[in-house]
Amino acid sequence: MSALRVLFTVQGEGRGHMTQALALAGMLRRRGHAVVGAVVGGGRAEVPSFFRRGLATRVETVESPGFVAGAGGRIRPAATVLRALAQAGRYRPGLDAITAAIDRTEPDVVVNFYEGLMGLHGLLRVTDVPVVAVGHQFMMGHPAYPLAAGWPAQRLALQAYTSLVGAGAATRLGLSFYDAPDRPGLRVVPPLLRQAVFELADRPCDGSILVYLMEPALAPQLAAWSDRHPGVRIHVFSTVRPHDHSPALAFHALSGPAFLERMAAARAVVCTAGFETVSEAMWLGKPALMVPTPGHYEQRCNAADAVATGAGVAAATLDLDPLLEHLDHYRPAPEPFRQWVARAEGRAVGAIEEAAGIAPAWGDGVGDGQAEAGHIEIVPTRTGGGPW
């Protein structure tokens, strides 16, 4: 089989798409393929060093459209559309950069991690290089995925952006918490988890609760809850100044590796309903309390999807009481989810190979790195929206 040259385009807002890109890069390299470059959108002045080091290839940044958020992180669909239209001319250099990267690297396939500018490139620029679009948002068009009721403006904005991202793609990889039948133009694929997660399997539990506090203004509310429950040890990662509020409550600076280490040792996790963090918690067997970012329709859907899969509980506010009640009857059983994740390499890389016009080298099974973590190939399928 011929080795493929693969170019990445990556949405740079947050860390989820970047960690997915790093995970897929390792899978591609294990199969003899090469990642020849990456274009990161979102207007970042600088790409995080962990991404440059892990990808080990040329990485460049471009300005691209993104959602406009208001107070408390609430997404504003109308403002998002108006800003994108008003600033459309600013994205031409980004389109030119993508074209130049394709000309320079001569890839056999482009893998797009939910970057809207690459979708726009597919509509406006002619190229014969096939594109594979990656994102859990593509599951929104799958009948197995629960769409939250209401929020018509949010839903329309997300569906429109997702359609833009997938424009011109040869296939779309819908990242999913569970197995589900493929659809025309959509391959259902397990979460793409970084190798560091697998290396933390079955660490001893210290009984603590790990909290990712996206909104610093909620720190007093969390401190008040902790004061009422001094027997519950809590570690918080936030932009709040690192300090110990009490013997039971410690605030830490944001750090991906440290957060993951704490997750491996924790009894449970409190987070927003972002796909990547919830997937990592599920693999480690940590139940989650998911508090969707206000006004974030996608996270409301993710929370409902994860709860139906047995990942934990969801709440509208930062109240840990539902999590404690859930923990009273929770028994860790991560193996079925780990078995599903073990199929990620075969399904994702196989789809990329097919898009490039070559027969997949391996079947839909276990990749080398995941096999070392003890994965097997028998995978249960979610039925009726219930837990594993």
Count of C-beta atoms within a 10 Å radius of residue 325: 11
Taking a C-beta distance cutoff of 8 angstroms, is the pair 73, 42 a contact? no
Alpha helices in 166-274 (DSSP H): 195-198, 219-228, 256-265
Q: Tell me, what's the pLDDT at 1?
A: 59
**Identical topology for domains 5-194+339-371 and 197-335:** yes
> What does the block give as tokens for 171?
């296939």
Which of 32-46, 162-176, 203-217, 305-319 shows the lowest mean pLDDT across its residues? 32-46
User: What CA–CA distance (Å, rounded) separates 35 from 172?
Assistant: 19
- For Cα atoms 105, 60, 137, give the angle at the middle one, nearest 5 degrees: 90
> pLDDT at residue 11 above 50?
yes
Among the listed residues 88, 81, 89, 82, the one whose alpha carbon sits nearest the alpha carbon of residue 160: 81
In order of 154, 155, 242, 376, the CA distances from 149 in angstroms are 11, 9, 38, 37
Kindly state the average pLDDT of the residues 221-234. Answer: 97
Q: What class has domain 197-335?
A: alpha beta
> pLDDT at residue 75 above 60?
yes
CATH T-level assignment (fold) for domain 5-194+339-371: Rossmann fold (3.40.50)
Q: Name the residue ranges covered by the structural domains of the chain.
A: 5-194+339-371, 197-335
pTM: 0.88
Kindly state the average pLDDT of the residues 37-57. Answer: 87
Q: Which residues contact 360 (CB under 8 A, 6 or more apart)?
A: 346, 349, 350, 353, 354
- Residue 387: pLDDT band (50, 70, 90) is very low
In order of 75, 142, 212, 273, 298, the CA distances from 69 in angstroms are 4, 27, 19, 16, 14
| Interval 336-370: pLDDT, tens | 999 999 999 999 999 999 999 998 876 664 444 44
| Interval 78-118: pLDDT, tens | 676 677 667 778 889 999 999 999 999 999 999 999 999 99
